[in-house]
Amino acid sequence: MKKTAPILGVILLTIIFFSLSWAEPPPKLRININTATQEVLELLPYIGKVRAREIVNYRTKHGEFKKVEDVAGVPGIGKETLASIRQYLILSGSSEFNPEPKIIDLDEDIRDFVLLENRSFYTRLGKELDRAQIEIVVAMFLFKTSKHPSNWANIILRKLVKAAQRGVKVRLFLERDSDPSSSLNRENLATAERLKAAGIEINFDSPKKTTHTKLIVIDQRLTFIGSHNITHSALKYNNEASILVDSPDLSKKVLDYLDTIREQ
């Protein structure tokens, strides 16, 4: 009987793991394309101020959209962009979205970016990871975690795992050099194994080329870029500076770039 309980526990955990991994997450974002204001339309991935304004202008000129496919006719949208946002569009009913989607705590005349010095990067990153709804993509030269729960890099790792568990798609791109015994390889591989065990996608670059990026893209619109690696020292003690930019266009370019650096 003493051996049966652990075995049943393993089976139960296995069932739960595969349920989380394979179950389709519930919708996180629904925008009524016929009633949404420009501000609400800007919540859609790949849709910034210009495209949101074009959708409103098109709707004013032509009337309500009869079918979702008609959105491709809006100037600046097209079939490719529509394919990326189609799952979030509805023609009737109420829109569903995060009530606080915009970057906050900015001066009134600066709404598109904010400088994150030293520890403020960790604070803001944690906040945005907690309210991510669609996708998180991380590209780091060094992601160094440890066995200590209070380690700030560990806390970021746990936030990534929690995001994946609630249905957010999480992807990582990590550096791997040509020396299998290097400390960088050891640290990144250890972090990769912990995240992979939680069902998170891990990508490495080619050992022949160094990837020195420190990039994080959230919900295809928020981009963190700068000097912060994800290590306890960088997040808590070092003099570091990064920028958070709210721009779907920039996020798309960053994501396209990252897809070119994974190991061939």
How many folded domains does the chain comprise? Answer: 2
Per-residue pLDDT band for 208 (boundaries 50, 70, 90) equals confident
Separation CA 138–CA 254 (nearest Å): 11
Which CATH number characterizes residue 81's domain?
1.10.150.320
Please list the alpha-helical segments (H only) found in the chain: 4-22, 38-41, 49-62, 78-85, 119-130, 152-165, 183-196, 232-236, 248-258
Please say if the pLDDT value at position 27 is more than 60: no
| Inside any domain, residue 64 | yes
Please say if the pLDDT value at position 110 is more than 60: no
Is 142 found in the same domain as 226?
A: yes
| Inside any domain, residue 248 | yes
Range of the domain at 40: 31-90
Per-residue pLDDT band for 201 (boundaries 50, 70, 90) equals very high
pLDDT at 13: 47
Pick 27 or 98 by higher pLDDT.
98
- How distant, in Å, are the alpha carbons of 6, 75, 114, 234 from that of 240? 46, 41, 14, 7
Q: Please tell me which of 89-103, 203-217, 231-245 the model is most confident about, judged by mean pLDDT.
A: 231-245
| Inside any domain, residue 173 | yes
Is 242 found in the same domain as 168?
A: yes
Is 168 found in the same domain as 74?
A: no
Give residues with Cβ within 8 angstroms of 251, minimum separation 6. 45, 217, 220, 221, 222, 223
Lowest mean pLDDT among 76-85, 107-116, 215-224: 107-116
pLDDT at 263: 55
